[in-house]
């Protein structure tokens, strides 16, 4: 029973490029959460999705960031026109429902050069 | 707005010591509280999950307590070992959104031989 799988583990992008981060939840989990950990800061909630729906995106930056969780396939966090300040570790978590324990993936470390 | 504070920010102890990590939160309307471990460059490992109706949880050498009324939780580690060296994160889930977690900035623990 595989855990939450995130890929890639490390991603390097030049300023202005797009970054796509993928998250495959645990088997049977239909709730996905994305968090960002900036250098020297704590993890911050970004967005909460269920299959095909965004439930809460109160932590998402207003521009350049988007997330989806299609009916088939992984959840995708997309960052357009990346800037140096986007360099961070992005973690995904999944759960059976909104109130059962969420399990975290290993994270994707994005470096913008 | 929920704020989570962890004290101390860093801690260095000799092997074998018992130690206590502290977590405080400003809004007592929580659904649950979790303690995580994060190793450098790695993901989050859930250590203990305490539901709001519980007072404590134990797992091996770890014991976590929760006092909702005072907005505090402690993580007790007995007989510390060098392998316990990591950053310990406290996270609070709010009522109605259990897995939208608010994280503290962590306590960086080093257990020396």
- What pLDDT shows up at residue A113? 97
Q: What is the pLDDT of residue A27?
A: 93
pLDDT in tens, A68-88: 999 999 999 999 999 999 999
pLDDT in tens, A7-38: 999 999 999 999 999 999 999 999 999 999 99
Q: What is the C-alpha to C-alpha distance for residues A20 and A92, in angstroms, rounded to an integer?
A: 13
Q: What average pLDDT does this structure show over B8-15?
A: 96
Summarize pLDDT for B60-99 with one digit per residue, the tens: 999 999 999 999 999 999 999 999 999 999 999 987 766 8
For residue A55, what are its two tokens? 């439930």
Interface of A with B (CB under 8 A): 31, 33, 35, 41-45, 48, 56, 91, 93, 95, 98-107, 109
Between A17 and A42, name the one with better pLDDT: A17
CA dist A107 and A89 (Å) reads 6
- Count residue pairs from A and B with Cβ separation < 8 A: 56
Contact across the interface for A56 and B41, Cβ inside 8 Å: no
Which chain B residues touch A95 with a CB distance below 8 Å?
Answer: 99
Peptide bond into A8 cis (omega under 30): yes
Distance CA A103, CA A28 (A): 12
Considering only CB atoms, B99 lies closest to which of A33, A44, A109, namely A33
* Gap between the Cα atoms of A65 and A107, Å rounded: 17
Distance of CA A61 to the CA centre of its chain: 13
Averaged over B98-105, what is the pLDDT?
88
Interface test with B, best of A44, A94, A102, A110 (most B CBs within 10 A): A102
Of B49, B100, B103, the CB nearest to A56: B100
| pLDDT of res. A42 | 86
Contact A41 B99 (CB under 8 A): no
Q: Average pLDDT of chain B? A: 94
Question: Between β-strands B107-112 and A31-37, what pairing exists: parallel, antiparallel or unpaired?
Answer: unpaired
Give rounded-to-5 percent helix, strand, coil for chain A.
Answer: 5, 50, 50
Segment A53-65, tens digit of pLDDT = 999 999 999 999 9
8 Å CB contact between A47 and A59: yes
Is A43 a residue whose pLDDT tops 60?
A: yes
What is residue B42's predicted lDDT score, i.e. its pLDDT?
Answer: 85
Say if the Cβ atoms of A103 and B46 lie within 8 Å. yes
């Amino acid at each position: 029973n595989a855990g939450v799988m995130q890929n890639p583990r490390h991603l390097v992008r030049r300023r202005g490029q797009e970054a796509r981060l993928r998250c495959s939840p645990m088997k049977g989990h239909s709730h996905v959460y994305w968090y960002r950990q900036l250098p020297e800061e704590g993890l911050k909630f970004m967005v909460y999705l269920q299959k095909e729906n965004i439930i809460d995106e109160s932590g998402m930056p207003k521009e350049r960031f988007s997330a989806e969780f299609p009916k088939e396939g992984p959840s995708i966090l997309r960052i357009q026109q990346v800037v140096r300040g986007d360099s961070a570790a992005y973690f995904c978590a999944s759960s059976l429902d909104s109130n059962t324990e969420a399990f975290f993936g290993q994270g994707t470390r994005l470096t913008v050069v | 707005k929920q704020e989570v504070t962890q004290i101390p920010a860093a801690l260095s102890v000799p092997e074998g010591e018992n130690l206590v990590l502290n977590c405080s939160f400003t809004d007592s309307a929580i659904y649950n509280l979790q303690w995580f471990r994060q190793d450098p460059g790695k993901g989050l490992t859930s250590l203990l999950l305490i539901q709001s109706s519980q007072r404590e949880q134990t797992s091996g050498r770890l014991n976590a307590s929760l006092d909702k009324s005072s907005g505090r939780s402690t993580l007790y580690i007995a007989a510390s070992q060098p392998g316990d060296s990591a950053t310990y994160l406290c996270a609070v889930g709010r009522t109605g959104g259990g897995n939208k977690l608010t994280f503290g900035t962590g306590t960086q623990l080093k257990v020396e031989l």
